[in-house]
């Protein structure tokens, strides 16, 4: 399990949407809006999913000694979502 291995954040692709979820204290991010036509978010998502956005985007990841921040940004510069992971937990 990721929490047993000390994983700070999980980044995924494949689905052509942006989605973020938290499970067992770990943020999960699906970032699949980089150019192909975007999919629609499913009507019924798992309860851990906090955000699902069907829009083109890229992911900017910033890391420091104590945290990781993943920001989903549209091609025109709008911020869709921001997820933070504390590396000291």
- The phi-psi region of residue 35 (left if phi > 0; otherwise alpha if psi is between -120 and 50; otherwise beta) is left
- Of the two residues 3 and 29, the one the predictor is more confident about is 29
- Answer whether 28's CB lies under 8 Å from 86's CB: no
**Average pLDDT of the chain, as a whole number:** 91
* Among the listed residues 60, 49, 67, 53, the one whose alpha carbon sits nearest the alpha carbon of residue 82: 60
> Regarding beta strands 26-31 and 10-12, do their DSSP bridges make them parallel or antiparallel, or are they unpaired?
parallel
Average pLDDT over residues 39-56: 92
Confidence of residue 11 (pLDDT cuts 50, 70, 90): very high
Looking at residue 36, what is its pLDDT?
Answer: 85
């Amino acid at each position: 399990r990721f929490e047993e291995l000390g994983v700070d954040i999980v980044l995924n692709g494949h689905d052509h949407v942006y989605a973020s979820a938290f499970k067992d204290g770990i943020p999960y991010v699906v970032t699949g809006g980089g150019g192909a036509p975007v999919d629609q978010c499913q009507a019924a998502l798992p309860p851990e999913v906090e955000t699902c956005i069907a829009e083109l985007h890229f992911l900017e990841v910033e890391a420091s000694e104590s945290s990781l921040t993943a920001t989903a940004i549209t091609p025109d510069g709008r911020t869709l979502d921001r997820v933070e992971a504390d590396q000291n937990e």
